[in-house]
Structure 1
Amino acid sequence: MLDEEGFKELPSSDCLQAVDATWLVLNVLTNGCSTTDAQPVGVTKIAKSVIAPLAEHNVSVLMLSTYQTDYILVREQDLSVVIHTLAPEFNIYQEVNGELIHVMHEEASNGFLKPKQVSLTVHPVQSPQNRFCILSLNPDSLPAIATTLIDVLFYSNSSSREPASNNQDLESIRFFAISLIEGYISIVMDTETQKMFPRDLLLTSSSGELWRMVRIGGQPLGFDECGIVAQISEPLADADISAYYISTFNFDHALVPEEDISKVIQVLQKRQESGR
């Protein structure tokens, strides 16, 4: 994921595959303030109020959790539907020249609403055995880890293994995610990869919590289907389990506290068996 200006700077290449849509970023603020100075609220905290209503109105979303906050990406063409759907519950603001301008409910036309989604595809979930860390980094420290970062991104010999026969468990998989948003850096890596980095530079919560992952989708998901994030976030919200969620080009990933992984698998298996 990168902004439009960054995309324009990319050289043309037959190896580069891009989604044929422009996406806009929604950031949920608490009491009018961003959560950039706190731990992420987690996708489950906005499951009922934001993600589920958008799924019901057939709006496809991508989700990106960071160390500081959570972002929902929606296609630009769906903006009127998003505003109409969320305006009854939220004050919606659009950033214009660095200022937040209130968007009136009446500016969203009912004529652009899509029909409500009747049923959602329930995708399989798999749980790799890795343990993961959610970390942050002071931008001034980025040059100190640049060599290690390049090694991990481009020269690591780690590789994914084949899924176990029960299709619920994976052996350790290679997963490394780094985001740079408004100067804030977030990194997700497994505990083995973390050993390659200087521990005094990577910031984490005081509890040093470890996370396990559930990966959604037995094959690449695409971008037209809606309700994928809701499939995970709603049952976890009902079970009061926090999650850190990352949508990627092929699959979606939810990280949950390590001590909750057994309960998470049970909850999601039950959801899958019910087909809802």
Structure 2
Amino acid sequence: MDLHILDHRLRVISISKNGLVNFTHPLIKLIFLRNRTRCKFFSLTETPENYTVVLDEEGFKELQPSEHLKVESSIWLPLNVASNGNASSSSQAVGVTKIAKSVIAPLAQQHVSVFMLSTYQTDFILVKEKDLSVVISTLEEEFNIYKEVGGESVPMHCQDVPNGLQKNGKEALHPVVIPKNQFCVMSLDPDTLPSIATTLIDVLFYSNSPKEDAANQGLDCIKFFSFSLIDGYISLVMDTEAQRQFPADLLFTSSSGELWRMVRIGGQPLGFDECGIVAQISQPLADSDISAYYISTFSFDHALVSPASHRPRRGHSERNRHAPAPEERSSSQLISDVPSELDDPRLSLQLQWPMVARQQEERLTLCLD
């Protein structure tokens, strides 16, 4: 398989709910007025706590410093895995599950922190620029590694990158909560984006006040909406309540209309130095051949897992040039006994499996609050 280091240098920032009014102008420009900005990588995710924005350096220039803006200090590089057609696997799983053992687990073993961003088209693994040499040395036996430079893919080797790894924080156990609302992952033809502009602005910026969002944090359903516009391709993640506000004939997903349940990771903000968080979730899913999306945000991580079985993740609109061809998701079960318990939104999981060796035993404990 091929691993591509994409030609984007990214920043991860947080905008407070109270301070959103100070940033609506540049955010609307980044979402709708592509001819007025050189930004090529933009993702905005709303959670109950804040807005997470992942964007390249050109987009970052659009945001003015503010007390309502928190900026993670690192430069992040997006990685993307593509099959070269020679790899064979009996697994039907896709998404973060497919790369759990080949990418996520090895990086966790080397104490490399990752920030995941799954979209309708593909899955991006963000690593800190200073960790790139360790990433390459860890993965070069498994992958052909290329770096995009000026639109061309240049082969990369460990000696091509200076070693600047600083050992990241050790992994810890994190509570996991499953909210009640169901989610869908969709896409949109960029040419029709103006047709949903008023609805998208309403959902992103005006649907809830900060007080309402704070009050809903402890309830069965949480507010989660993600919009990504990356290299010209659009991805949207929303719950079914938000979906009903959009015209059904413009948004597209798999023919089955698949719905997903969220697993929200973290009782306290996770930070950016700890390693192994994504691995703790993705490895047991990979062991059971269960597909999943994974979206990291400034404070918490979110996995989307389907309780249904044998449903397609992505339709024939797959367009990312490095992404594999459309594949079928296989979700015959969730983790252990989770499917029969998903209807209880108070369910929390305590996941315990050190990522120091693949042979180590995993343990999953289910408990009710």
User: TM-score if structure 2 supplies the norm length?
Assistant: 0.66
Aligned to 2:326: none
TM-superposed CA distance for 1:220, in Å, is: 0.8
Question: Against the structure 1 CA distance between its residues 41 and 239, is the aligned structure 2 distance closer, same or farther, given a 3 Å change threshold?
Answer: closer
Aligned to 1:3: 56
Q: Percent identity?
A: 63
1:48 aligns with 2:78: no
Q: More strand per residue: 1 or 2?
A: 2
Paired residues for 1:59-138 under 5 Å: 59-107=112-160, 120-138=171-189
Q: What secondary structure, in the 3-state scheme, does the structure 2 residue paired with 1:258 have?
A: coil
Query: Match for 1:149: what amino acid?
Result: L
Question: Against the structure 1 CA distance between its residues 254 and 4, is the aligned structure 2 distance closer, same or farther, given a 3 Å change threshold?
Answer: same
How far apart are the structure 2 equivalents of 1:122 and 1:261? 26
Superposed CA deviations along residues 233-260 of structure 1, whole A, max 9, x for unmatched, are 0011111110001000011000011336
Q: What secondary structure, in the 3-state scheme, does the structure 2 residue paired with 1:187 have?
A: strand
Superposed CA deviations along residues 178-235 of structure 1, whole A, max 9, x for unmatched, are 1001111000000011110000000010111111000000111000101111010001
How far apart are the structure 2 equivalents of 1:261 and 1:21? 39
Q: Report if the CA contact (8 A) 2:118-2:294 is conserved.
A: yes
Q: Report if the CA contact (8 A) 1:131-1:258 is conserved.
A: no
Q: Report if the CA contact (8 A) 1:212-1:261 is conserved.
A: no
Q: More helix per residue: 1 or 2?
A: 1
How far apart are the structure 1 equivalents of 2:302 and 2:281? 9
Aligned to 1:167: none
Aligned partner (choices 311, 327, 351) of residue 271 of structure 1: 351
Q: Report if the CA contact (8 A) 1:135-1:204 is conserved.
A: yes
How far apart are the structure 1 equivalents of 2:110 and 2:282? 17
How far apart are the structure 2 equivalents of 1:12 and 1:19? 13
Aligned to 2:294: 245
Question: Against the structure 1 CA distance between its residues 251 and 127, is the aligned structure 2 distance closer, same or farther, given a 3 Å change threshold?
Answer: same
1:192 aligns with 2:263: no
Q: What secondary structure, in the 3-state scheme, does the structure 1 residue paired with 2:103 have?
A: helix
Q: Report if the CA contact (8 A) 2:175-2:350 is conserved.
A: no
- Listed as ranges, the gaps of 5+ residues in structure 1 are 34-39, 164-169
How far apart are the structure 1 equivalents of 2:190 and 2:167? 45
Aligned partner (choices 195, 199, 205) of residue 154 of structure 1: 205
Query: Match for 2:61: what amino acid?
Result: K
Aligned to 1:204: 253
Q: Report if the CA contact (8 A) 2:184-2:260 is conserved.
A: yes
How far apart are the structure 2 equivalents of 1:52 and 1:145? 39
Give me the CA root mean square deviation.
2.6
1:14 aligns with 2:94: no
Query: Match for 2:63: what amino acid?
Result: L
How far apart are the structure 2 equivalents of 1:97 and 1:59? 27
Aligned to 2:271: 222
Q: What secondary structure, in the 3-state scheme, does the structure 1 residue paired with 2:69 have?
A: coil
TM-superposed CA distance for 1:263, in Å, is: 3.0
TM-superposed CA distance for 1:32, in Å, is: 7.3
How far apart are the structure 2 equivalents of 1:9 and 1:261? 45
Superposed CA deviations along residues 116-158 of structure 1, whole A, max 9, x for unmatched, are 98x6312111000001110000001110100001100111136
Q: Report if the CA contact (8 A) 1:81-1:108 is conserved.
A: no
How far apart are the structure 2 equivalents of 1:84 and 1:223? 22
Superposed CA deviations along residues 154-174 of structure 1, whole A, max 9, x for unmatched, are 1113636344xxxxxx60111
Q: Report if the CA contact (8 A) 2:291-2:305 is conserved.
A: yes
Q: Report if the CA contact (8 A) 1:41-1:70 is conserved.
A: no
Query: Match for 1:122: what amino acid?
Result: L
Alignment length, in residue pairs?
Answer: 262
Q: Report if the CA contact (8 A) 1:136-1:185 is conserved.
A: yes
